[in-house]
Amino acid sequence: MVKKIMTGNLAAAWGAKISRAEVIAAYPITPQTIIVEKLAKFISDGELKAEYLRVESEHSAMAACIAASQTGARTFTATSSQGLALMHELLHWASGARTPIVMANVNRALAPPWNIWADHTDMMSQRDTGWIQFYAESNQEVLDTIINCYKLCEDRAIQLPAMVGLDAFYLSHTSEIVDIPDQDIADKFLPPYKAFYPLDVEHPLSVGSLAMPHQWYSEFRYKIYKSMEKVIPKLNKIEKEFNKEFGRNYTGPLDLYQVEDAEIILVAVGTVAGTVKDTVDYLRSKGLKVGVIRLRLFRPFPSEELIKALKNASFVGVLDRSFSFGNEGQIFSELKASLYQTNRDPLIKDFIVGIGGRDITTDTVKKIYENCQKCLKNKKIDQEIEWTNIKV
């Protein structure tokens, strides 16, 4: 084990290196470019044995990853924002073809107006593509999640691709101490990938060909649905094993902080959770019963785990760093839908924060908790959706 100071982008590159990615097809985009630059350097320096494909667009990058994965190669790529949007068509193809591709996505806002800063709209817009979605809080988590993703995605019961989100600049360009796992332990933890239906000229296959309505199309989609159901139990098992091998404990789909006796719980995604945890410490020192749940996994959506974690809460505030125009924040929608099937009816409010990289400070979070307290006292929310810190 070696400790290094590195940015989230370098942690992502190290994650792919330690996982021994064999094919990397990528197209540069700010603020992701450093990830694939570092991987190109690893390869040219002879530190990583992989095929590096320089393609003409993100659409081509994903197409190349799918084909490479189908030959049985462990495949990695990285993108961000507009690049992820351009991949959209192929994202469906990757999950439909059951290719266990792992991708780092630096979470960045979409244009116009041009904005390269942190925002979750890019990945939220890919919600229905059949990809597993993680959002990281630290550079260490970026590295570790990439390794765990390969183990998860390549499992026979799963066979789906995953994307790991890291917030633009807050992680991508910010340095932290990161433990790099020992290669020999990592090799034991993550053996070489073996495709279940590899493309092989000696044993020809037709892949993804026509399926008429009366044939098996519905059933192939049904199988993706069933595999997604197995992701959370499998993830819990993998992370337990990871903890045993590497001594770092991840807690599955949710990261709970002071929730057990909390009256007011905020639900957050990505780096903002760190700021919220600090604010929780401060407010707890003043005697307030507050807590935070960080959603690590957005697809599959951990409904059951969330309902359980919210069982004692009287007020739930959701921090959405993205918005579904014409409706509400995506996490808010999904959390409300999960609660509908229970007899729990806490007050719930959506806070739209940090859009296009606007800073979310402890003061912002304190104001949010104060507002939650006020609503809880009145036993009524003042408005269902609040765009916090908008200059009105």
Partner 1 sequence: MKNNQKYSSVEDLPEASVASVSTVYIKTGSWRVYRPEIDKEKCIKCFICWRCCPDISIGIDEEGYPKINYDYCKGCGICSHECPNEAIKMKREGK
Is residue 173 within 8 A of residue 30, CB to CB? The reply is no
Q: Which residue has the tokens 């940090």?
A: 354
* Between 118 and 231, CB nearer to partner 1: 231
Tell me the residue ranges of DSSP E strands in 238-288: 254-257, 264-268
Report in angstroms how near the CB of residue 224 gets to partner 1 at its nearest: 8
* Between 113 and 204, CB nearer to partner 1: 204
Nearest-10 Cα torsion for 15, 16, 19, 24? 180
Report in angstroms how near the CB of residue 313 gets to partner 1 at its nearest: 38
* Between 194 and 222, CB nearer to partner 1: 222
CA–CA separation, 8 vs 141, rounded Å? 9
**DSSP per residue, 363-391:** HHHHHHHHHHHHHHHHTS-S-SEEETT--
* Between 46 and 204, CB nearer to partner 1: 204
Peptide bond into 112 cis (omega under 30): yes
Residue 258 three-state SS: coil
* Between 7 and 227, CB nearer to partner 1: 227
* Between 195 and 306, CB nearer to partner 1: 195
In this structure, which amino acid lies at residue 262?
A
Report in angstroms how near the CB of residue 182 gets to partner 1 at its nearest: 33
* Between 4 and 223, CB nearer to partner 1: 223
Report in angstroms how near the CB of residue 191 gets to partner 1 at its nearest: 20
* Between 227 and 364, CB nearer to partner 1: 227
Report in angstroms how near the CB of residue 368 gets to partner 1 at its nearest: 43
CA–CA separation, 203 vs 197, rounded Å? 10
Report in angstroms how near the CB of residue 96 gets to partner 1 at its nearest: 7
- Please, which contacts does 286-290 make with residues 24 or more away whose CB atoms are closer than 8 Å? 288/264, 288/369, 288/373, 289/261, 289/262, 289/263, 289/264, 290/258, 290/262, 290/263, 290/264, 290/265, 290/266, 290/369
For binding to partner 1 (CB under 8 A), which residues are involved? 96-98, 156, 159, 196-197, 204-212, 215-216, 219-220, 222-223, 227
CA–CA separation, 256 vs 242, rounded Å? 19
3-state secondary structure 278-322: HHHHHHHHCCCCEEEEEECEEECCCHHHHHHHCCCCCEEEEEECC
Report in angstroms how near the CB of residue 127 gets to partner 1 at its nearest: 22
Report in angstroms how near the CB of residue 3 gets to partner 1 at its nearest: 39
Residue 353 structure tokens: 């924060």
Determine how many CB atoms are found less than 10 A away from the CB of residue 208: 12
Report in angstroms how near the CB of residue 92 gets to partner 1 at its nearest: 13
Nearest 5°: CA angle at 329, between 84 and 251? 75
Report in angstroms how near the CB of residue 195 gets to partner 1 at its nearest: 9
CA–CA separation, 229 vs 169, rounded Å? 33
* Between 18 and 66, CB nearer to partner 1: 66
State the number of CA atoms in the 13 A half-sphere of 117 facing the CB: 11
* Between 111 and 211, CB nearer to partner 1: 211
